[in-house]
Protein backbone atom coordinates (compact mmCIF):
# COMPACT_ATOMS: atom_id res chain seq x y z
CA UNK A 1 0.00 0.00 0.00
CA UNK A 2 1.27 3.40 -0.90
CA UNK A 3 1.50 5.74 2.03
CA UNK A 4 -0.58 8.85 1.61
CA UNK A 5 1.31 12.09 1.76
CA UNK A 6 0.60 14.22 4.74
CA UNK A 7 -0.95 17.62 4.08
CA UNK A 8 1.43 20.49 4.45
CA UNK A 9 0.26 23.80 5.80
CA UNK A 10 0.52 25.33 2.33
CA UNK A 11 -1.82 22.59 1.14
CA UNK A 12 -4.33 23.67 3.78
CA UNK A 13 -4.01 27.28 2.64
CA UNK A 14 -4.61 26.35 -0.96
CA UNK A 15 -7.59 24.16 -0.10
CA UNK A 16 -9.25 26.96 1.83
CA UNK A 17 -8.41 29.41 -0.96
CA UNK A 18 -9.84 27.02 -3.56
CA UNK A 19 -13.04 26.74 -1.53
CA UNK A 20 -13.32 30.52 -1.28
CA UNK A 21 -12.74 30.93 -5.04
CA UNK A 22 -15.44 28.38 -5.85
CA UNK A 23 -17.77 30.08 -3.37
CA UNK A 24 -17.10 33.43 -5.10
CA UNK A 25 -17.94 31.99 -8.54
CA UNK A 26 -21.13 30.33 -7.28
CA UNK A 27 -22.31 33.58 -5.71
CA UNK A 28 -21.49 35.48 -8.92
CA UNK A 29 -23.67 33.05 -10.89
CA UNK A 30 -26.54 33.40 -8.43
CA UNK A 31 -26.51 37.14 -8.04
CA UNK A 32 -25.92 38.52 -11.55
CA UNK A 33 -24.65 41.90 -10.35
CA UNK A 34 -21.33 42.84 -8.80
CA UNK A 35 -22.29 43.52 -5.17
CA UNK A 36 -19.11 43.05 -3.16
CA UNK A 37 -20.93 42.82 0.16
CA UNK A 38 -22.76 39.72 -1.07
CA UNK A 39 -19.48 38.11 -2.21
CA UNK A 40 -17.49 38.95 0.91
CA UNK A 41 -17.08 36.89 4.04
CA UNK A 42 -16.35 38.09 7.56
CA UNK A 43 -13.46 36.91 9.65
CA UNK A 44 -14.88 37.62 13.07
CA UNK A 45 -15.41 35.28 16.01
CA UNK A 46 -19.17 35.28 15.36
CA UNK A 47 -18.81 34.05 11.77
CA UNK A 48 -16.17 31.35 12.35
CA UNK A 49 -18.80 28.69 12.90
CA UNK A 50 -20.64 29.23 9.62
CA UNK A 51 -17.46 29.56 7.58
CA UNK A 52 -16.06 26.43 9.21
CA UNK A 53 -19.26 24.50 8.41
CA UNK A 54 -19.10 25.64 4.78
CA UNK A 55 -15.45 24.61 4.43
CA UNK A 56 -16.03 21.24 6.11
CA UNK A 57 -19.11 20.51 3.99
CA UNK A 58 -16.97 19.81 0.93
CA UNK A 59 -14.03 18.13 2.69
CA UNK A 60 -13.55 14.51 3.64
CA UNK A 61 -11.65 15.29 6.83
CA UNK A 62 -13.06 18.08 8.93
CA UNK A 63 -10.90 21.10 9.54
CA UNK A 64 -10.49 22.56 13.01
CA UNK A 65 -11.25 26.19 13.76
CA UNK A 66 -7.63 26.94 14.61
CA UNK A 67 -6.45 25.54 11.26
CA UNK A 68 -9.00 27.68 9.44
CA UNK A 69 -7.94 30.76 11.39
CA UNK A 70 -4.26 30.10 10.64
CA UNK A 71 -5.05 29.52 6.97
CA UNK A 72 -7.02 32.74 6.63
CA UNK A 73 -4.31 34.70 8.41
CA UNK A 74 -1.70 33.32 5.99
CA UNK A 75 -3.92 34.03 2.97
CA UNK A 76 -4.31 37.63 4.11
CA UNK A 77 -0.54 37.92 4.60
CA UNK A 78 0.10 36.63 1.07
CA UNK A 79 -2.52 39.09 -0.26
CA UNK A 80 -4.77 36.35 -1.63
CA UNK A 81 -7.58 37.89 0.43
CA UNK A 82 -8.11 41.62 0.37
CA UNK A 83 -10.30 43.71 2.69
CA UNK A 84 -13.29 45.48 1.19
CA UNK A 85 -12.28 48.75 2.87
CA UNK A 86 -9.76 49.91 5.43
CA UNK A 87 -10.22 48.46 8.92
CA UNK A 88 -12.88 46.09 7.62
CA UNK A 89 -13.43 42.52 8.74
CA UNK A 90 -15.05 41.68 5.37
CA UNK A 91 -12.72 40.12 2.82
CA UNK A 92 -12.96 39.04 -0.82
CA UNK A 93 -10.63 36.84 -2.86
CA UNK A 94 -8.16 38.81 -4.97
CA UNK A 95 -7.21 38.08 -8.56
CA UNK A 96 -3.83 36.91 -7.26
CA UNK A 97 -5.64 34.29 -5.18
CA UNK A 98 -7.57 33.00 -8.18
CA UNK A 99 -4.33 32.71 -10.17
CA UNK A 100 -2.60 30.79 -7.36
CA UNK A 101 -5.37 28.18 -7.32
CA UNK A 102 -5.80 28.08 -11.11
CA UNK A 103 -9.50 28.96 -11.22
CA UNK A 104 -10.83 31.64 -13.51
CA UNK A 105 -12.59 34.49 -11.74
CA UNK A 106 -16.13 34.91 -13.02
CA UNK A 107 -17.14 38.43 -13.80
CA UNK A 108 -20.48 39.94 -14.57
CA UNK A 109 -20.84 40.59 -18.25
CA UNK A 110 -22.51 43.89 -18.83
CA UNK A 111 -25.34 43.66 -21.29
CA UNK A 112 -25.81 46.38 -23.82
CA UNK A 113 -28.82 48.53 -23.22
CA UNK A 114 -31.56 48.45 -25.78
CA UNK A 115 -31.43 51.50 -27.96
CA UNK A 116 -34.63 53.45 -27.72
CA UNK A 117 -35.91 55.47 -30.64
CA UNK A 118 -35.27 59.18 -30.61
CA UNK A 119 -37.92 60.91 -28.54
CA UNK A 120 -37.70 64.06 -30.66
CA UNK A 121 -39.64 62.44 -33.46
CA UNK A 122 -43.37 62.50 -33.00
CA UNK A 123 -45.21 59.43 -34.13
CA UNK A 124 -48.80 59.53 -35.27
CA UNK A 125 -51.12 56.66 -36.03
CA UNK A 126 -52.08 56.45 -39.70
CA UNK A 127 -54.47 54.04 -41.41
CA UNK A 128 -53.28 52.78 -44.80
CA UNK A 129 -55.87 53.19 -47.56
CA UNK A 130 -54.82 50.02 -49.34
CA UNK A 131 -54.34 47.41 -46.57
CA UNK A 132 -56.29 49.13 -43.71
CA UNK A 133 -53.48 48.55 -41.19
CA UNK A 134 -53.06 51.18 -38.49
CA UNK A 135 -49.49 51.81 -37.36
CA UNK A 136 -47.38 54.64 -35.89
CA UNK A 137 -45.35 56.63 -38.41
CA UNK A 138 -43.03 59.61 -38.03
CA UNK A 139 -43.55 62.74 -40.11
CA UNK A 140 -40.71 61.76 -42.46
CA UNK A 141 -42.21 58.38 -43.41
CA UNK A 142 -44.58 58.47 -46.38
CA UNK A 143 -44.98 54.79 -47.35
CA UNK A 144 -46.81 51.95 -45.64
CA UNK A 145 -44.52 49.39 -43.97
CA UNK A 146 -46.75 46.50 -44.98
CA UNK A 147 -47.88 47.13 -48.56
CA UNK A 148 -45.77 50.09 -49.70
CA UNK A 149 -48.72 52.35 -50.56
CA UNK A 150 -48.46 56.13 -50.17
CA UNK A 151 -49.64 57.53 -46.82
CA UNK A 152 -51.69 60.72 -46.68
CA UNK A 153 -51.83 63.16 -43.78
CA UNK A 154 -55.63 63.19 -43.97
CA UNK A 155 -55.66 59.52 -42.85
CA UNK A 156 -54.20 60.29 -39.38
CA UNK A 157 -56.14 58.82 -36.50
Residues 84 and 146 in one domain: no
Task: For 39-74, write each residue's pLDDT tens digit.
Answer: 677 766 666 677 777 777 766 777 777 777 788 888
Residues 22 and 72 in one domain: yes
Does residue 144 have a pLDDT over 70?
yes
Does residue 150 have a pLDDT over 90?
yes
Residues 70 and 19 in one domain: yes
- Coil, strand or helix: which one is 79? coil
In a domain, 73, yes or no: yes
In a domain, 95, yes or no: yes
Distance CA(114)–CA(104), nearest Å, equals: 29
The total number of structural domains that make up the chain: 2
Residues 92 and 134 in one domain: no
Note the pTM of the prediction, 2 decimals.
0.54
User: In the structure, what pLDDT confidence band is assigned to residue 78 with cuts at 50, 70 and 90?
Assistant: confident
Residue 23 domain boundaries = 9-101
Q: In Å, how far are 104, 106, 129, 145 from 71, measured between CA atoms? A: 21, 23, 78, 67
Q: What is the pLDDT of residue 1?
A: 44
Amino acid sequence: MAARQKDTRYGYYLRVLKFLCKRHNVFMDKQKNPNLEYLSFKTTSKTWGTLLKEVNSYRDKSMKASSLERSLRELKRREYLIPMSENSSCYIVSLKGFRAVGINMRKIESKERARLPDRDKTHTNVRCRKCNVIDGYSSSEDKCRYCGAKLYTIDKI
